[in-house]
Amino acid sequence: MAEPKMRNISFPRYAEYNCAFKYIVEQALGARYVMPPALTKRTMELGTKYSPDSVCTPFKTVLGSMIESLEAGADTLLMTHGLCRLGYYGELLEQILRDLGYQFDFINLSDYDMDKKKEYIRIVRRINPKVNPARFLAQFMEGLRMVEYLDEIAAEYYRNCGFDATKGSYKRAYQDFLTAMYTAQGRNDVETGYREAKRALQAIPLDKPARPLRVGVVGEFYTAMDAFSNLELEQKLADMRVEIHRWMNVTNQFLHYGGQKNMRVKIKDLSAYDMGPTSTANIWYARECAERGFDGLVHIKSAACTPEIDVMPVLQNISADYKIPVLYLTYDAQTSDVGLMTRLEAFYDMIDMRKKVL
């Protein structure tokens, strides 16, 4: 019998997590990973052209990225499930891509019951029937560890990169870390890359005032975390010498959410119900930032993101109660950052002058 063909799997671009998807596909699942090209204007043009107009921007980005993956030779696309409209997106994406004439196998996690462990085995067997379960488990866990490292280093980076004494040294160390993660072939590469990045970042001298400006970032799961989609908001604000804090990432939301078990209870006075996949965490973290005396909050969402629209009135209450300014930003498929810069500069001027007076 002929050897079954090795799959060429792709998952759309998502912040810097694609190196972890690559690691899991290659090391744990024994398949090939097709790295989708970095998101560009072309991705958005493709995505916007073939998407329903009123759908939220991440759908357009994901569709554009999937088309670019197929162009790059992917024969299997993986799509996540989700707790908002995202849960329906897989089906729609597949239909649009089939109508465009692409041939591929589509693995939609929404088709599976992700609460059951058995379902994970079904997915793994579908991707590669000959997978070795022991190797799969070990390498899958290492892939998740890479996700944790990515989030930990990114958080450290955005907290400090605005303050490095020699401009650009922080950025270089972060880029080196990402390169190590994107090229990791095994456990040793991941662990060494992480340790070296930790050491490199800690060795960089910082020129940080005793009370730096601190801004908390909350918002919709895709746009708040993906630098291309939010026009590099965190980098832009950090470059003005601001500490950026964001709780929302894959580690906190999916891997360690258990540690925040009482989040719902903690925000009961602000919001009686869960209003979507990220509302509870965003409201909880916004108040955390306010109580810790942060200088401002930035709320990020794509246009027409209903769960995050529901969060906004609660943020207004937090803003009034704790006297913390909130910058609300709505993103669509625009690629010019001129308007964003105006708002960010004004926000920075405001929190800076405010800190000196209040």
Partner 1 sequence: MEHAYLGIDVGSISTKGVIIDKDDKILSSQYIWTQGDPIGAVKELVRLLEEQFDKQRYQIVATGTTGSARKLVGTIVGATMVKNEITAHAVGTTTFYPDVRTILEIGGQDSKIILVENGVAVDYAMNTLCAAGTGAFLSSQAKRLGIEVEEIGDYALRSTHPTQIAARCTVFAESDLVHKIQLGHPREDIIAGVCNAVAANYLNNVGKGKKIVSPVVFQGGVSKNQGVVAAFERTLGCKVIVDPNGHLMGALGVAILARRGSGRQDFDFAIENMEFRTREASCGGCSNHCEIICVYRGEQLIDSWGNRCERGARVH
Residues that bind partner 1 (CB under 8 A): 37-38, 40-43, 303, 312-313, 316, 319-320, 323, 325-326, 328-330, 332, 338-339, 341-343, 345-347, 349-350, 353-354, 356-358
On whether the CB atoms of residues 72 and 36 are closer than 8 A, the answer is yes
- Least Cβ distance, residue 223 to partner 1 (angstroms): 13
Which residues sit opposite 79 in a β-bridge? 108
- Least Cβ distance, residue 161 to partner 1 (angstroms): 16
Which residues sit opposite 327 in a β-bridge? 298
Residues 97 and 114: their CA atoms lie apart, in Å, by 24
Residues 169 and 151: their CA atoms lie apart, in Å, by 19
Nearby residues of 268 by Cβ (< 8 Å), 6 or more positions away: none
- Least Cβ distance, residue 338 to partner 1 (angstroms): 7
Rank residues 210 and 357 by Cβ distance to partner 1 and give the closer one: 357
Rank residues 43 and 51 by Cβ distance to partner 1 and give the closer one: 43
Rank residues 37 and 87 by Cβ distance to partner 1 and give the closer one: 37
- Least Cβ distance, residue 215 to partner 1 (angstroms): 14
Rank residues 35 and 255 by Cβ distance to partner 1 and give the closer one: 35
Q: Give φ, ψ of 334 to 5 degrees.
A: -75, 150
> Which residue in 183, 182, 180 sits closest to 200, CA to CA?
180
Rank residues 81 and 354 by Cβ distance to partner 1 and give the closer one: 354
Rank residues 44 and 74 by Cβ distance to partner 1 and give the closer one: 44
- Least Cβ distance, residue 35 to partner 1 (angstroms): 14
Nearby residues of 47 by Cβ (< 8 Å), 6 or more positions away: 59, 60, 61, 62, 63, 64, 65, 67, 333
- Least Cβ distance, residue 257 to partner 1 (angstroms): 29
Which residues sit opposite 298 in a β-bridge? 217, 327
